[in-house]
Every structure is written in C-alpha cells, then in structure tokens.
A and B are shown apart, each in its own frame.
Chain A
Amino acid sequence: MNHLIVPRVMAKIMIPFILLYAFYVQFHGDYSPGGGFQAGVIFAAAVILYTLIFRVAEAERAVRPSAVRVIGALGLLLYAGVGVVTLFKGGAYLEYGVLKHDPVHGQHLGILLVELGVGVCVAAIMISIFYAFVDFLRAQ
C-alpha cells in the first residue's frame, strides 16, 4: 500500500472539495450550467474515488450499499411525488406553479425538488452499479 501514499493524500484533500462541488452544481443549476444529473455523477465520482483509493470495506462502511439502493429509489419517488402533490393541489401533473401562492415561487420550489430527486437518484444508482461490480469481482 506504500506506493499509494501520494494518491491517498491527494484523495483525502480532494474528495471533500469534489463533494462540495457536487452540491454547488446541484443547487446552482438555476444560474449556471449543471443540474441534478451532473451533480449526481460528480457526487458518485467522489465516492468511487474513495473506494478505489481506500479499501472497499471502508467505503462500504461510510456509504452503505443497502442504504444507497433505497436512497436511489427515494430520489425517483421524490420526483414523481412532486407531480402527485401538484395533482392534489389542483394542477396538472408536474405543474409546479400550483405549489405556492405565487406561480413563479412555485416553479422555483418545484424545480429545486425535482432536480434534487434527479441528483439523489443518479448519484445512488451510479454508486450502486459500481458496488455491484466490486461485489462481483470480490466474489470471484
């Protein structure tokens, strides 16, 4: 493991910033390029980097595979659920305008929630796919 000392130190410094950048891309998507999809992929890349540099067991302790799968489903449910809420509020499916009194604020809230759902789902699914490969390789 000694030959990995430079990548390990670099990863320790970089991973928090990669995660922070993912959140920036997620919540700043209204103003700059990016959004839920890109943020989710960047977040997943940080976790994958952690798994590659440190041991898989440590990564699995930090980000549990079983939890990741549930979280991925919850992200998709959040997106679809926003549509159901707008239905109950008297609008069309995914018509965010009815979420709040002011239609523009409703649009903001709806887009924020929907992008969050996309980000969470994409990040969780990418991590899950990587874990599935790692699991399979470990079993061989």
Chain B
Amino acid sequence: MTTLVTVLLLAMLAGTAITIARVRGVFVAVMLTGIYSLLSASWMLVLDAPDVAFTEAAVGAGVATVLMLSALALTTNQERRPDRPTILPLVVVVLTGSVLVYGTLDLPSIGDPLAPAQQHVVPRYLHESPHEIHIPNVVTSVLASYRGYDTLGETTVIFTAGLGVIMILGGAQQVLSWQRSRRREDEEGAIELDDYTAAPLPEPRDPIRPEHGWDARGEAAASGGEGAGDDEGAAPEEDA
C-alpha cells in the first residue's frame, strides 16, 4: 500500500515538474509549483518526516506561492520563447540527471539502520535526548539544542534574505519615483533631453527636486487662475 502511494506521488511529482518546465504561462507555472510543494509534502509524510512535511506545506504551498504571485505582478506573465534551439540544454540536463541517478545506486536504501547517517551521532541523540533534554519530539531537541548553531545560522539567513528583498524593492521604488518626477519635468519642457542623458545618475532622493517641482506647480496653479493657456509657457521659464 505504501509502495503504491509512493509510486503514485512520485509519478505525479514528475508529471508536475515536466509540466512546469514545458508551460509558457508563468502564472500557471507558479500555481503548479504550489501543487508540487503540496505533493512533496505528502510524500515527506509517507516517509515519516512530519516536521519536514509541515514546513514544505506551510512554506512551499502557502507563503512561497503568494510571494511568487506578488513577484509575478511586477513582470509579464508569459515566458519568452527561446531564440535558440533547446537541444544542448536538454542533453546537459539528461546527462546530469543520469549521473545523479547512477550515484544513488550506491546509497543505502531509505530507513536502512546500517546506513552511515544512522550510525554517527543519531544513536546518541535518540538515547540521550530523553534524559538530557526530556522533550518527546527529538526533532525539536536536535534542531534547537544539539544543533543550535545551525538553527541560529538559518534564522540569520532568513533575516538577511528578508532585508535584501526589502532593500531591493525599496531602492527600486525610489528610482521609479525619481524617474517619474524626471519624466514629468521633461514633459513640462524644463530640462533639455541632452542634459537629461548626459548628466550622471543623481541620488534617488534629491533634496531640491521635490521642493522645486512643488514650487513650479504652485506657480502654474497660481497662474492657472488667470489663464489656463499660459501654463505651458510659464513653467519652462520658471526653471530656466
């Protein structure tokens, strides 16, 4: 029964992976990665690793899908067709895959008590954890206590990754708003195009610019009271 479920899950995983590789719509691909995560979470559960399954379901199928969708909103949702034939990448992938599969032939089978992974520190953790830490879930005692350094490092990685995303998106946002203000002034004819391209990239936050723009607009609004047609002519003179 377990074998049947495993084979079924792995077949569905492989099918989902191939579909993700072949599909052109990025939105479909993102939803399929969510399904892939859910399938692998079920498979982890079959392998008696509920902690990993839990993480995979919560992160992979839940939050990661939402984050991918929000990232998708920043780009197009159609993958470009490759302009070169894709034979060489296929050959490389097939070769790498077969080498990896060949490598697994030497590995001990899943759950083998004589596997090196079960011989090293695992017996000590399993035997001593009830006396030393007295927590029924050995996974927690290994993660938080025996391997506390690793978990601290992982938490730092998550924190750093989050900071990176915040800084990249925040910086891009500043550049965007700066470009927009430049474009607006360009449309008003305040700056010659040559100056615009020749000038080195200024700081995203220019302390003078918003004030200046506000001033010019204020002038335009003030003159707008007298005659709306004069606005176009008034603004450039103001800046020059």
Contacts and interface: CB of A to CB of B under 8 A. Distances in A.
B158 A34 contact: no
Interface in B43-98: 50-51, 53-55, 58-59, 62-63, 66-67, 70-71, 73-74
B71 A94 contact: no
Q: Which of A32, A76, A136, A140 has the most CB of B within 10 A?
A: A136
Interface in A101-139: 103-104, 107-108, 110-111, 114-115, 117-118, 121-122, 125-126, 128-130, 132-137, 139
Contacts of B137: 29-33
Chain B interface size range = 35 or more
Contacts of A139: 173, 176-177
B152 interface: yes
B172 interface: yes
A122 B157 CA distance: 10
A121 B62 contact: no
Nearest to B66: A48
Contacts of B144: 35, 110-111, 114-115
B143 A122 contact: no
Contacts of B53: 33
B224 to A, nearest CB: 28
A99 B166 CA distance: 36
Contacts of A96: 145, 148
A139 B73 CA distance: 13
A133 B169 contact: yes
Contacts of A83: 148, 152
Contacts of B50: 33
A122 B155 contact: yes
Interface in B163-190: 165-166, 169-170, 172-173, 176-177
B155 A117 contact: yes
B136 interface: yes
Given A33-B50, A33-B51, A129-B67, A111 B145 contact: yes
A124 to B, nearest CB: 8
A41 B73 contact: no
B151 interface: yes
B162 interface: yes
B70 A137 contact: yes
Contacts of A137: 70, 73-74
Of all A-B residue pairs in the complex, the 10 with the closest CB atoms, nearest first, are A125-B162, A133-B70, A33-B50, A94-B148, A111-B144, A41-B58, A132-B169, A30-B135, A107-B133, A136-B169
Interface of A: 25, 29-35, 37-38, 41-42, 44-45, 48, 52, 69, 72-73, 75-76, 79-80, 83, 93-94, 96, 103-104, 107-108, 110-111, 114-115, 117-118, 121-122, 125-126, 128-130, 132-137, 139-140
19 contacts: A30-B135, A30-B137, A31-B136, A33-B51, A35-B51, A37-B55, A72-B162, A75-B155, A103-B132, A107-B135, A107-B145, A122-B155, A132-B166, A132-B170, A134-B70, A135-B169, A137-B74, A139-B173, A140-B74
